[in-house]
Chains A and B, each alone.
Chain A
Amino acid sequence: DSGVTQTPKHLITATGQRVTLRCSPRSGDLSVYWYQQSLDQGLQFLIQYYNGEERAKGNILERFSAQQFPDLHSELNLSSLELGDSALYFCASSVAGPLAGATSTDTQYFGPGTRLTVL
């Protein structure tokens, strides 16, 4: 158990719909990362938040958005869903950031993922 939780585990929805995926980081971690993994594909970095602020952006579609709340949990919102959005979505957390200790690193701890199926 990594200490990172994601809900829901599975989500089935229809094209054109909007869904929200939720992630709770490990206690003490200020950075949250979102990744997409399509069938037989590698991990595609979407976005990173640190202490509530967006810090790095990957190939995240404009239909997707994310935010990190004051309690440090994060949500990934996917809208106008298409068949190709069906994938595993992983969240990870780390202590990385300006407030981290001098010896800290960017070790990421991943959640179990949310499997999204768009029909």
Chain B
Amino acid sequence: DAKTTQPPSMDCAEGRAANLPCNHSTISGNEYVYWYRQIHSQGPQYIIHGLKNNETNEMASLIITEDRKSSTLILPHATLRDTAVYYCIVRAQKTSYDKVIFGPGTSLSVIP
């Protein structure tokens, strides 16, 4: 079973911020939160990851709650090209020999 839960789908107006939530209530202290996205049938693309501090890069921002039980991926100005399935997973640092479990993700539709 996936260690994360996400809403199955979301809509967002073009140009607005897209806020994608993820629950990971059983996350361990050494596990990072990773976000990936998959556009149609392309290979999934890494977006961002974090441990406990909020993170920002050129693609997105990641907000992790203080108790680390949930997080939100923020696409600040969504474009049509951001329409994709977004996956949130948790993985331990460096030595990751557990099964990788991707849940069904959130299908984000950016609407003109």
Contacts and interface: CB of A to CB of B under 8 A. Distances in A.
Given A48-B100, A56-B100, A105 B93 contact: yes
B66 to A, nearest CB: 21
Interface residues of A, number: 36
Contact of A97 (B49, B91, B94): B94
Given A43-B87, A43-B102, A48-B100, A109 B46 contact: yes
Contact of B94 (A4, A43, A100): A100
Contact of B99 (A56, A98, A106): A56
Interface residues of B, number: 27
A111 B41 CA distance: 11
B43 interface: yes
A111 B43 contact: yes
Contacts, number: 85
22 contacts: A35-B100, A42-B105, A43-B102, A45-B99, A45-B100, A45-B101, A45-B102, A48-B100, A55-B97, A56-B100, A88-B41, A92-B44, A100-B94, A105-B93, A106-B32, A106-B92, A106-B94, A107-B49, A110-B43, A110-B46, A113-B42, A113-B43
Given A105-B32, A107-B49, A112-B43, A56 B102 contact: no
Interface of B: 32, 34, 36, 38, 41-46, 49, 87, 91-105
Interface of A: 2, 4, 31, 33, 35, 37, 42-45, 48, 50, 55-58, 88, 90, 92, 94, 96-98, 100, 102, 104-113, 115
